[in-house]
Structure 1
Amino acid sequence: MITLRPANERGQASHGWLDSFHSFSFAEYYDPNHMGFSALRVINDDTVAPGAGFAPHGHRDMEILSYVLAGNIRHQDSEGNIATLPAGEFQLMSAGKGIRHSEYNGSQTEALRFLQIWIIPSTPGGEPGYQQKHFGSREGLTLIASPDGRDESFTVRQDACVYQLLLSPGQSIALPLGAHRNGYLHLVEGALSVEAMEMSPGDGAKLEGLDSPMVSNTGKEPVRALLFELP
């Protein structure tokens, strides 16, 4: 079964310095029909004004993945990690038993846009962790996170895998999902079909009970998306 989560039905928040679209219930946006999917709890598409950002705040018991789409993030946390993430870079912060961090737009002139993604860990607690990497721009599927850190991916504390999906116009690929696993596809840019169901930028698709579903770039521009393989 494929269930479309249209971009124009997402929650939206505008705070002047921040514009955010919520695929799932978050902060003041609440929809009991969209509380997450399997272990995937949050996908926020955030645009942050120049020089602005999220002041220091705390998290615990959450795997927090950031994917920079434009601009750069200036990160600092209570574990002593200080980093800048340029466009195309991924960051995975394991909150564990507790961590505080801040995320700011590193530019005073250009907007920052990034995806903020939360995955519920399989077990609570543990020491906080930090990982950061650019995984390149290879066409097809690139493993970003996995439970065992295979193929130089991040290690995520859940029986879940995250893939970057890049397709040229006309290109198709089978997704690495079995009928016993759940999948969630989030389209960042381009036009994509999933087993003949069309997706537009910002759309999400829940994939349930499907064995190696096919996806195709049906537009004239490259496709960029994230695939979550979930329990």
Structure 2
Amino acid sequence: MAQTVLHTAASRGGADHGWLKSSHTFSFAGYYNPERVNFGALRVLNDDTVDGGMGFGEHPHDNMEIISIPLEGALQHKDSMGNVATIEPGEIQVMSAGTGIYHTEYNKDKSKPVKFLQIWIFPNQRNVEPRYDQQKIATTEQPNQLVQVLSPDANDAGVWVHQDAWFNMGKLTTGTEVDYTFKKTGNGAYVFILEGKVSIDGQELSRRDGFGIWDTGKFSITAIEDAEVLIMDVPMVF
């Protein structure tokens, strides 16, 4: 029988630094909840809003797969590997921090906020060579479908990570039902509702709610109203 966990949007931890407002699904920085440290290999799911012209100064990471998904505005990236890039809605960025990297992230626009998801996944290999990639997301071109945007395979659709993880995104119109089948036995899925309202196996979910499901082979998502969802399929034991 499937096991589930519900994290409503209002139950998330948070931080307000003035220039940065962040909601934390899992324990992060000054927010600690022993019951919400991770979901399997999914360690961080932050919902960040950064004021115009502001951002994160140079800071280090190591031995983590770090994914950024812009939702609004443009995010400027610069790192110690020599990468300088701008990522915008409709794109996904990944860094394998591995042996260690430094990077900065800033709002490119001086007057409008940038909103993005910052996601961390525990890797299945430590001390790999750091790397960077970003790619387009094709959800707009494929409505009412789940579009793969991340996998463990560099030759598969989307960016890739050092972990048996798969991300899918979908824009669903009211009444649409889609089925999701787990990519690997023993994995669980954490579904984050970016916009709208859906039902997953009878559980109603609204904007920015999170829903974890595991010990099952598949599940279905029904759009109660127009919705956008992110499914993170990750190992529960790693």
Q: TM-score range by the shorter chain?
A: over 0.9
* Structure 2 counterpart of 1:174, one-letter code: D
What is residue 204 of structure 1 aligned with on the other side? 210
1:31 to 2:37 alignment? no
CA deviation after TM superposition for structure 1 residue 155, in Å? 1.4
State the alpha-carbon separation in 2 of the partners of residues 168 and 96 from structure 1. Answer: 39
Structure 1 runs not aligned, ≥5 long = none
- Equivalences for residues 1-231 of structure 1 within 5 A: 1-136=3-138, 137=140, 138-139=142-143, 140-177=145-182, 180-219=186-225, 221=226, 223-231=227-235
Q: TM-score scaled by structure 2?
A: 0.93
User: For this pair of structures, how many residues does the alignment match?
Assistant: 229
What secondary structure sits across from 1:165 in the alignment? strand
* Structure 1 counterpart of 2:161, one-letter code: V
State the alpha-carbon separation in 1 of the partners of residues 4 and 160 from structure 2. Answer: 28
Q: 1:43 to 1:17 in 2, by over 3 A?
A: same
State the alpha-carbon separation in 2 of the partners of residues 193 and 207 from structure 1. Answer: 13
Asked whether the 8 Å contact 1:165–1:224 carries over to 2, the reply is: yes
Q: Deviations over 1:143-177 (max 9, x none)?
A: 11111134332111001111112211110011122
What secondary structure sits across from 1:151 in the alignment? coil
State the alpha-carbon separation in 1 of the partners of residues 147 and 157 from structure 2. Answer: 10
State the alpha-carbon separation in 2 of the partners of residues 18 and 230 from structure 1. Answer: 28
Asked whether the 8 Å contact 2:151–2:157 carries over to 1, the reply is: no
* Structure 2 counterpart of 1:166, one-letter code: K
What secondary structure sits across from 2:218 in the alignment? coil
State the alpha-carbon separation in 1 of the partners of residues 22 and 104 from structure 2. Answer: 17
Structure 2 runs not aligned, ≥5 long = none
Q: Deviations over 1:180-213 (max 9, x none)?
A: 3211101110101000100011111110112221
Q: Where does structure 1 differ by over 2 angstroms across 4 or more consecutive aligned residues?
A: 149-152, 178-181
Asked whether the 8 Å contact 1:179–1:208 carries over to 2, the reply is: no
Q: 1:95 to 1:87 in 2, by over 3 A?
A: same
* Structure 2 counterpart of 1:85, one-letter code: I
CA RMSD of aligned residues (A): 1.1
Q: Identity of paired residues, percent? A: 40
State the alpha-carbon separation in 2 of the partners of residues 4 and 185 from structure 1. Answer: 10
State the alpha-carbon separation in 2 of the partners of residues 179 and 92 from structure 1. Answer: 25
CA deviation after TM superposition for structure 1 residue 67, in Å? 0.3
CA deviation after TM superposition for structure 1 residue 224, in Å? 1.1
Q: TM-score scaled by structure 1?
A: 0.96
State the alpha-carbon separation in 2 of the partners of residues 121 and 67 from structure 1. Answer: 19
